[in-house]
Structure 1
């Protein structure tokens, strides 16, 4: 831990009048309605005895890296599935998710000439908010699908019944995913000596093909040059830090995995390194904010066009009263058509608080639309447009866009329109696999990373 962060931690105090179940005194939105309270209590009690999924020192390491990103010394890359499903806890799917994030980060490290904080949106992303508690099809009305941690997507009464045993299943699959990711990273999956991990087949169809080949070759040459000069292999060439995140929506689950640990003060949410609060549960006087204010994890807050300056300042005061570096990440998700009108005033409001924050952009959620054929999709052009505007707006306001939050997959899906291969609406039905929101596929995600680098370089001059 850096000396600066150690000094800042001396002024951090535990949250007052807080306990890990104090959220239950507040209005808790987007929660499953279980019909068996005893079964819920039993599942939660068993969860509370199971080993943590992450460690406190990993959490504090991430917080330090976020503090460095706030100071402009790192870039924050967060990405993964909109909602994980139990059936996709499979080695090839996990490997592909990790691969695309690693490759995106290496493009960014090369082009931005700074370290990248790598955060996967997986190993716990099993809960999803819903617009309505119920779904109606014809004359049938059933509880909405709230993610595999709560119920199943099939439109059947038994499948849609919230089952607390699913919390145990979500924990188990999160643990298996984490263990496999750790094994891959520790075993050299990120080793730059292995060009076979760089799947270059798709770029032959892209106008960025030559640029991407140049990046891959340059990284390889740089690695070999360092080894020749130093006579040894730098550790970061073979291994990278990798963190997990999810929307901490299901509060009974999050409570069970919130623990105290030896030789550390306070409480940690040990279900993930980086939990975030979504727009639908970000009420300043709500249960989710109450839960978050008492944990020591770095935390994210989704910021949409409906959030006012006063609301945002209230959240900052509640969640980071001691102005701790590395504590808060603000994830704005406005939409390409709204970001210019809504973001500047929020940036100015946050600057007025004097509190350190890391601003990152989620260009996915504000750009969701439905086609005439009924598919939810996102246009790559709108995603790119919102990102480019966000970089420019922050620069104009004397702020800095320090990262991105993306819904993506390492699979060859066709869920977002556009990109290098110019996918059209007619392509959606070919490989549309998401159960909730459309995701960037492997090539679209990698293409976007190159566009982010190009924008960063233009701003840097």
Structure 2
């Protein structure tokens, strides 16, 4: 291998295993190396979870997102557990994604590319290798829980086990199989009866707006059906009013697993979407490596070192990829990273997933946008906002419990929309940790504080289920969908000021003392309500 300085040369040698010569961040040390080798050989013999044709179809759709012709909705669990592989929880996530995308389409009037953090999001990076826990009345230091495909959440099951990689494959396969079967069986039929419940909304103005949008959607769909504009057959992309494309993604953390599920194949001609005829001529005849563990994988904030193993692996794969961009990323480093991952500047090849935090986004995002705008990547990347990861905090009543404030989440999202617009850029998508899960009484999870449900700090204990980071629940997720839809509608109609122009984060009352985040306290939601109430 040549040194890193020549990595921009697209002819530099690359192989599915060349990453092994680089430093591996967030590495997992397996006590039984022989067992790991046996497991990886088994994975190499198994079919891919997705197909190259599907990957290329996503590439084409993400190119449309980069061109402003579509919007990207990436959503799902912070970290999946194997126990989530059941019909109820899979369908809850799928339904929520479909409802959110329908709401966004109503406001934006563009297609939504649906991308789930599902069927493989089993590994999580950690800041510390060990943690101290209470065990049989004593303090004991154990390995940190790294996700179900590494070790167990139970403190007695923290030794990394290679067999969990096989379990991850089969649980991913079963999850994806149920998603595909559900979609092909009419689960996404927009004319099927749907439960649109907004009893959680305490603001009369917001409730009226939600119901108005649903009524408008229903009327439009009924009209299309009446005039015969509801084709039963699928379009070229596989979409119609009764079926949709749905793609899966996860963080590409476990490189042994990703390498074992990489297959070198000739790309589908239908999926080719290049910037020039010369590029098409160069790439069409050759076989290229596809990671078939998911349609797309992303680089985390802890694994994007320019001289690291993850960058080496990501730069050679055919799949579109995501890159988390946060406070530790320098503007010039971001451009160097893009030069390595996407030297040909292919539209939609890279999605930049901003995760700054409400208090940092105004100070840090503009410099990153300007750096990319001044580079050759200005027209090819997709900018996506992750308003979750930079806004994790502790519960005032129980510091050991992690939560997120809805007002912080909306502040970062609103600021990102405003900043991109002011700099002549475009926010092309949103990346959310959420779940549609409910308890046996039909009550949503309670992990984030606020939203139109007005969840309070004391409500967290009612149905807190996450073993990792807090997620938006069903109602809070729909709140976000309506907020995005409202903004994009205003942008489309040339009315972007007002309802979604938040006050500075420093002026927001974030309910740190555990009070109720109502319309008077949560200024962002209050501004939205005023905007809705005043709109003709």
Larger-gyration structure (1/2): 2
Q: Secondary structure at the match of 2:373?
A: helix
Query: How far, CA to CA, are the matches of 1:326 and 1:100 in structure 2?
Result: 25
Query: How far, CA to CA, are the matches of 1:231 and 1:185 in structure 2?
Result: 20
- The residue aligned with 1:261 is 265
C-alpha distance after superposition, 1:418-444 (max 9, x if no partner): 011111110011101000000000000
- The residue aligned with 1:172 is 170
Cα offset for 1:371?
1.7
Q: Verify the 8 A CA contact 1:14 1:266 in the aligned structure 2.
A: no
- The residue aligned with 1:98 is 94
Query: How far, CA to CA, are the matches of 1:114 and 1:222 in structure 2?
Result: 15
- The residue aligned with 2:425 is 399
Aligned pairs (5 A) from 1:89-128: 89-128=85-124
The range that moved more, 228-237 or 312-321, is 228-237
Find the partner of 1:311 among 333, 336, 352.
333
Cα offset for 1:415?
0.1
- Supply the RMSD in Å over aligned alpha carbons: 1.6
TM-score where L is the length of structure 1: 0.94
Q: Secondary structure at the match of 1:54?
A: coil
Change (3 A) 1:35 1:105: same
- The residue aligned with 2:489 is 457
C-alpha distance after superposition, 1:230-286 (max 9, x if no partner): 365365110011100100101111110011125662100000001000000011111
- The residue aligned with 1:216 is 214
Q: Secondary structure at the match of 2:265?
A: coil
Find the partner of 1:432 among 460, 464, 467.
464
C-alpha distance after superposition, 1:88-135 (max 9, x if no partner): 111000000000000000000111111000001100000000011111
Find the partner of 2:251 among 240, 244, 247.
247
Query: How far, CA to CA, are the matches of 1:106 and 1:397 in structure 2?
Result: 28
Query: How far, CA to CA, are the matches of 1:241 and 1:231 in structure 2?
Result: 19
The range that moved more, 449-458 or 301-310, is 449-458
- The residue aligned with 1:3 is none
Q: Secondary structure at the match of 1:171?
A: helix
Structure 1 unaligned blocks of 5 or more = 1-11
Change (3 A) 1:15 1:384: farther
Q: Secondary structure at the match of 1:280?
A: coil
| Paired residues, number | 447
Q: Which has the higher helix share?
A: 1
Q: Secondary structure at the match of 1:384?
A: helix
Aligned pairs (5 A) from 1:366-445: 366-372=390-396, 373=398, 374-411=400-437, 412-445=444-477
Change (3 A) 1:352 1:387: same
- The residue aligned with 2:511 is none
TM-score where L is the length of structure 2: 0.81
Query: How far, CA to CA, are the matches of 1:74 and 1:433 in structure 2?
Result: 33
Change (3 A) 1:262 1:343: closer
